[in-house]
Amino acid sequence: MNRDFLHAFARNKGAVLGLAIVGAVILVALAADLLFPASPWEMAGAPFGRPLADGMLMGTDMLGRDIASGVAHGARVSLLIGLASTLAAVAIGVLLGAVAGYYGGRLDDLLMRFTELFQTIPNFVLVVVIVAIFTPSLVSIVVAIALVSWAPLARLVRGEFLSLRSREFVQAAITCGQGDATIIFRQILPNCMSPIIVSASLMVATAILLESSLSFLGLGDPNAMSWGFMVGSARTVLRQAWWMCFFPGFAILLTVLGLNLIGEGLNDAFNPRLRRKRKA
Amino acid sequence: MRDPVRFLRRVAVAAALACAPLAAHAETPVKGGTLTAIIQPEPPMLVMGLNQQAPTQTVAGKIYESLLTYNFDLSPRPSLAKSWEVSADGLTYTFRLQEGVKWHDGAPFSAEDVLFSFKTFLPETHPRARALFGRAESIEAPDAATVVIKLKEPFPAFLQAFEVSTTPIMPKHVYEGTDFRANPKNATPIGTGPFMLDKWEKGSYIRLVANPHYWQAGKPYLKDIYFKIIPDAASRALALENGDVMQSQYNDIEPFDVARLAKLPNLTMTKKGYEFVAPLMWLELNTRVAPLDDKRFRQAMMFAIDREFVRDKIWFGLGRVATGPINSVTKYYDPNVPKYPYDPKKAIALLDEMGLKPGANGVRATIKFLPLPYGETWQRLGEYVKQALGKVGVAVELESTDAAGWGKREANWDFDVTGNFLYQYADPSIGVSRTYLSSNIRKGVMFSNTMGYANPEVDRLFEAAAKENDAAKRQEMYSQVQKLIVEDVPVAWMLEMEFPTLLNTRVHDAVTTAIGVNETYADAWVSPK
């Protein structure tokens, strides 16, 4: 199974490319302090410096800050927020979805109406409201993104649980006298991991985009350098200095593309029917 | 001539003024032109006595008039009053009104309208008028063309109050005995000015047409004025560029775009016409909070911030580095005050002297900065201050909030450092002393002495100067007070803000007074294509 899976994933060229891109972004994020030891807010050069002028690979912004340093340090913020908010959203979504799907009945109704409440409010509007209320900081942004992202996952997990709980292996576990918690986490959950992993990988991409949009609107953490902030602050001078928007914008594009490619690849690899079709 | 620099600047200004009309008067004014201007945001209403927001002032300034208007040096000049006298004791102000003035609906204008405006209408509706006319012992009209105001005690700044947004003259026959705010005539404002409201297409444009019965014979030169509402900044720049509109003012054009537009052959740029408001920008320092309670720390901040960088890189050259509490275009400005050039070493020396030694991470102290939420230029200022103070070992944590939240926090002293700017309204006793008087430490009131700054000598000088009739003695007191305040640094002055007015080269004689684009435009004209 494992070799089969890796094989299937490796056959998908897009997925491998995505993995390479995201790997590179992670490397840059880890090495940011080595590559650019100074703070990305440091006004290191003359303002409005073009790329490659004054030894600045990507030029400087309107206050003379090194764009390359900002892109490297911004990778940390973007990945951190993407991963942290996805983990939080997965935790909420899996827990609620599993409970609703396993127990069914009134509890299911109640939890699903609650989930729909979150699904009916447009994601971005809700994120903006939450962040505005709790004042922008890394924590409030992670919480806000997690709060708007868990609902679809909860429905997905509920669906999987509904169909799996009537299977023989679950009946057998019940007959053996296993407790509810054991059955949920040890028996059913491992059997619906693949759709969870696929949608989580896509959620990371969405979270990065949400954070960038927030920073673009000036609702990012004012003390953290992020890609969205760089694009947002430079968009007004786009006519004078294209490079200030271009590099961080390109970084967002690459990262989100990479994550989406990985998600597609995982989906294909996890789905045996599709895999067989490709082989044929 | 105590101060040669100021004198030279005056000479330069006078020379420029002398030359400008020469160039313009080489052509005689052409009648019948149409002016198009940007108005942004759309004014909520056009009755100046009820609303004085910036866009209202620009449009309604053409519809209403006051007794006086002001030259670039803030000396008064005639408007509805053709002449005026102030008695030697500074207590009696006598205004003689223009003759043959009619309201837009044809009713004659008289001293009764002035009394109604000053005694009844404005004290009820205008935020500053109640305090202003509260200084009057009596306001009387001995005849239909004369108004006499007697003050309780001398207040020489009184003569600076007869500007159209402060004291617009409202028609008595329209408003007397009605609910001013609910009067149905508010939809069709009636003033004495050279232009009348013709059409207001909400969200699109406002059209004013020439008043055929205007009291200055032969004026206005313009046939009509269109104020176009263009909410998007890039569209505004484009409209100016391709000639769709001929005028922009205040913040219509983003600072970074001003230099590019000013260079275009069909546009000219002037920074004149904002002398009356004379905004001054500073960092407000909460002197109740350590280490901001120590004068040396506040001085160190001044030395650590390169204000030329702030002017050139953040405000794109729009502004002058401020020397102290009074804007150099406001009356009684004195440049002879302690100076704070950019000098990080001095800042470090002051911090060392205070005993604030850098810790293991190089940080001596941590303060919070709440940028003014008025757009990204102010955000950039916050980012710059964070870096600049970081260099001398003061860590700055940036906070963020929305406009309403900012107002609440500023008024309730809930900040360490915040950005702010205030208008000065021509005279220090109107627009400057309110920031520094200890009697104006009022929790919950925006734009008061929110720093909690108290210096008894400063209080005494401000209070004495406000009542002093002798201009030379007044100057002496204001010079002293400026030195004292600059030494104390209750706020860290950044820039005297300048606004650009961009005009199409076809527009002539638009900006001629200290109120610039809010002037009546009776003299403005547009040359044919």
Q: How confident is the model at residue B401 (pLDDT cuts 50, 70, 90)?
A: confident
- Helix (H) / strand (E) containing A274: helix A272-279
Q: To the nearest whole percent, how much of chain A has pLDDT over 90?
A: 68
| Pick from B164, B167, B165, B154: nearest CA to B93 | B154
Contact criterion met (CB < 8 Å) for B376 and A233: yes
What are the beta bridge partners of residue A66? A60
Task: Output the pLDDT for position B209.
Answer: 97
Burial of B388 per CB tally in 10 Å (0-12, 13-18, 19+): buried
CA angle B229, B231, B232 (to 5 degrees): 130
In a domain, A110, yes or no: yes
In a domain, A238, yes or no: yes
Q: At what angle do helices B376-391 and B295-304 cross, to 10 degrees?
A: 110
In this predicted model, what pLDDT tens digit does every residue of B88-111 receive, in sequence order? 999 999 999 999 999 999 999 999
Tell whether pTM > 0.90. no
The span from the CA of B198 to the CA of B182, in Å, is 21
Contact criterion met (CB < 8 Å) for A237 and B386: no
CA B253 to chain centre: 18
Task: Output the pLDDT for position B345.
Answer: 97
**Average pLDDT for residues B147-172, to the nearest whole number?**
96
Helices marked H in A104-224 — which ranges? 105-120, 123-133, 138-164, 168-175, 180-182, 193-216
For residues B155 and A233, which has the higher predicted lDDT (pLDDT)?
Answer: B155
Task: Output the pLDDT for position A48.
Answer: 86
Contact criterion met (CB < 8 Å) for B387 and A41: yes
Task: Output the pLDDT for position B27.
Answer: 73
In a domain, A50, yes or no: no
Task: Output the pLDDT for position B232.
Answer: 84
CB contact, 8 Å: A47 with chain B?
yes
In a domain, A80, yes or no: yes
Task: Output the pLDDT for position B18.
Answer: 47
Provide, as residue numbers in chain A, all residues whose Cβ is less than 8 Å from the Cβ of B313. 47, 62-64
pLDDT tops 80 at residue B24: no
Task: Output the pLDDT for position B416.
Answer: 97
pLDDT tops 50 at residue A77: yes
What are the residues whose beta carbons fall under 8 Å from the beta carbon of B348, sequence distance 6 or more?
B300, B392, B393
Q: State the nearest Cα–Cα gap between A70 and chain B, in angstroms.
A: 14
What are the residues whose beta carbons fall under 8 Å from the beta carbon of B445, sequence distance 6 or more?
B411
Instruction: Quote the strand ranges of B262-329, DSSP E.
Output: 267-270, 280-285, 319-321
Contact criterion met (CB < 8 Å) for A222 and B399: yes
pLDDT tops 90 at residue A3: no
| Residue A130 DSSP one-character state | H
3-state secondary structure of B370: strand
**Average pLDDT for residues B362-382, to the nearest whole number?**
91
**Average pLDDT for residues B501-521, to the nearest whole number?**
96
In this predicted model, what pLDDT tens digit does every residue of B182-224 receive, in sequence order? 999 999 999 999 999 999 999 999 999 999 999 999 999 999 9
pLDDT tops 60 at residue A276: no
CB contact, 8 Å: A236 with chain B?
yes
Name the residue among B256, B313, B314 with its Cβ closest to that of A236. B256
What are the residues whose beta carbons fall under 8 Å from the beta carbon of A164, sequence distance 6 or more?
A170, A188, A191, A192
Q: How confident is the model at residue B1 (pLDDT cuts 50, 70, 90)?
A: very low
**Encoded amino acid at B27, one letter:** E
Q: A–B: how many Cβ contacts below 8 A? A: 50
Task: Output the pLDDT for position B77.
Answer: 95
Round the average pLDDT of chain B to a whole number and report it. Answer: 92
In a domain, A206, yes or no: yes
Q: How confident is the model at residue B40 (pLDDT cuts 50, 70, 90)?
A: confident
CB contact, 8 Å: A38 with chain B?
no
In this predicted model, what pLDDT tens digit does every residue of A25-67 receive, in sequence order? 999 999 999 999 988 998 888 888 889 887 888 999 988 899 9
In a domain, A211, yes or no: yes
| Residue B108 DSSP one-character state | B
CB contact, 8 Å: A136 with chain B?
yes
In a domain, A275, yes or no: yes
Instruction: Locate B474 and state its tokens.
Output: 């007044």
pLDDT tops 80 at residue A110: yes
- Helix (H) / strand (E) containing B346: helix B344-354
Task: Output the pLDDT for position A278.
Answer: 54
- CATH code, domain carrying A174: 1.10.3720.10
The span from the CA of B436 to the CA of B285, in Å, is 12
Contact criterion met (CB < 8 Å) for A62 and B379: no
Instruction: Locate A62 and state its tokens.
Output: 């309107």
Contact criterion met (CB < 8 Å) for B398 and A222: yes
Contact criterion met (CB < 8 Å) for A135 and B379: no
Q: How confident is the model at residue A280 (pLDDT cuts 50, 70, 90)?
A: very low
Q: Which residues form the domain of A222?
A: 3-44+57-279
Are the CB atoms for A245 and A231 separated by under 8 Å? yes
- Which residue shows structure tokens 């205070």? B354
What are the residues whose beta carbons fall under 8 Å from the beta carbon of B179, sequence distance 6 or more?
none
In a domain, A51, yes or no: no
Chain A residue nearest residue B368, CA to CA: A223
Provide, as residue numbers in chain B, all residues whose Cβ is less than 8 Å from the Cβ of A47. 313
Contact criterion met (CB < 8 Å) for A222 and B376: no
* B136-143 and B267-270 strand pairing: unpaired
Chain A residue nearest residue B371, CA to CA: A222
Task: Output the pLDDT for position B21.
Answer: 45
Task: Output the pLDDT for position B151.
Answer: 97
Task: Output the pLDDT for position B6.
Answer: 56
What are the beta bridge partners of residue B354? none
What are the beta bridge partners of residue B369? B398, B417
Provide, as residue numbers in chain B, all residues whose Cβ is less than 8 Å from the Cβ of A41. 383, 386-387, 390
Are the CB atoms for B276 and B487 separated by under 8 Å? no
Q: State the nearest Cα–Cα gap between A62 and chain B, in angstroms.
A: 7
In this predicted model, what pLDDT tens digit does every residue of B453-482 receive, in sequence order? 999 999 999 999 999 999 999 999 999 999
The span from the CA of A194 to the CA of B468, in Å, is 84
Instruction: Locate B163 and state its tokens.
Output: 């500007």
Task: Give the B-side interface with A, CB within 8 Å.
Answer: 233, 254, 256, 260, 313-314, 371, 376, 379-380, 382-384, 386-387, 390, 397-402
pLDDT tops 80 at residue B20: no
Residue B137's Cβ-side half-sphere holds a number of Cα atoms within 13 Å equal to: 11
Q: What is the ipTM of this complex?
A: 0.76
For residues A87 and B13, which has the higher predicted lDDT (pLDDT)?
Answer: A87
- Helix (H) / strand (E) containing B94: strand B92-97
Q: State the nearest Cα–Cα gap between A220 and chain B, in angstroms.
A: 9
pLDDT tops 70 at residue A277: no
Number of domains in chain A: 1
Q: State the nearest Cα–Cα gap between B453 and chain A, in angstroms.
A: 29
Neighbours of B202 (CB within 10 A): 8
Helices marked H in B162-277 — which ranges? 172-175, 233-241, 255-262
Task: Output the pLDDT for position B309.
Answer: 94
In this predicted model, what pLDDT tens digit does every residue of B418-462 receive, in sequence order? 999 999 999 999 999 999 999 999 999 888 999 999 999 999 999
The span from the CA of B120 to the CA of B415, in Å, is 39
For every residue of A18-68, DSSP letters joined together read HHHHHHHHHHHHHHHHHH--S-TTSB-S-TTPPTTGGG-TT-B-TT-BBHH
Name the residue among A63, A132, A239 with its Cβ closest to that of B313. A63
Are the CB atoms for B522 and B214 separated by under 8 Å? yes
For every residue of A190-247, DSSP letters joined together read GGGHHHHHHHHHHHHHHHHHHHHHHHHTT-S-TTS--HHHHHHHHGGGTTT-HHHHHH
3-state secondary structure of A251: helix
